[in-house]
Amino acid sequence: MRRLYHGTVLAGFAGAVADALTLFERFEAKLEETRGQLARAAVLLSRDWRTDRTLGRLEALLVVADRSTLLVLSGAGDVIEPDDGIAAVGSGGAYALAACRAFAQAWPDGDPEELVRRSLDIAADICVFTNHHLTIETLEA
C-alpha cells in the first residue's frame, strides 16, 4: 500500500514489486496532471500501460481509491469500479474479497476497518502466501 497525491489516494498492488513501484510513480504523475481526479488519472494510466512498450511488459494489478471512488486497473486497459465498493487483489485476494462481501452483507452498518481486518484474517488462514501481519490504511473524511 502507498499513499499518493498528498495523502488523499490509497494505492495497492499485486504483482512484482519493481513493476508496482514503476506504476505508482506513473499513476502519481497522472494524478498531478489531472489535479487529483482519480478516475481520469486511472484512464490515462491504463491507456499508457496498454500502449507503451515498456509499461506493457509490467505484470501487476493496481487498486486505487480516494474518499469517493474505488478502481482496479490492469495492463489490459481495464479500469473496473466494483459495484459494491469492495476490491481485493493478490494471492489471497479472492478469499479476502469473498469474506468481506459476506461480512458487509451480514453487518451492513459494521465498522469498515473491522470488516477488512476479519476478511484479511480469513484470507491468511486459507492462503499460504498471505500472513496475519496486517497494516490497515484508512482515508480521513
Q: Are residues 59 and 128 in the same domain?
A: no
| pLDDT tens digits, 125-134 | 999 999 999 9
Q: Are residues 54 and 100 in the same domain?
A: no
- Collapsed DSSP state (helix, strand, coil) of residue 62: strand
Cell of 102: 459476506
Residue 50: alpha-carbon gap to chain centroid:
18
Confidence of residue 77 (pLDDT cuts 50, 70, 90): confident
Cell of 131: 500472513
Q: Tell me, what's the pLDDT at 68?
A: 95
Q: Which domain holds residue 100?
A: 86-141
- Collapsed DSSP state (helix, strand, coil) of residue 126: helix
Cα separation of 141 and 136, whole Å? 16
Which CATH number belongs to the domain containing residue 46 in this structure?
3.60.20.10
Q: Tell me, what's the pLDDT at 58?
A: 82
Q: Give the least confident one: 36-45, 57-66, 119-128.
A: 57-66
| pLDDT tens digits, 8-55 | 999 999 998 888 898 999 999 999 999 999 999 999 999 998 888 887
DSSP 87-133: ---STTHHHHHHHHHHHHHH-TTS-HHHHHHHHHHHHHHH-TT--S-
The DSSP symbol for 137 reads: -
Q: Are residues 97 and 58 in the same domain?
A: no
Q: Is the pLDDT of residue 106 over 90?
A: yes
The model's pTM? 0.91
Residue where a domain stops, chosen among 58, 80, 102 = 80
Mean pLDDT of the chain: 93
Contact (CB, 8 A) for 93 and 105: no
Q: Are residues 20 and 34 in the same domain?
A: yes
Q: Are residues 23 and 59 in the same domain?
A: yes
Domains in the chain, number: 2
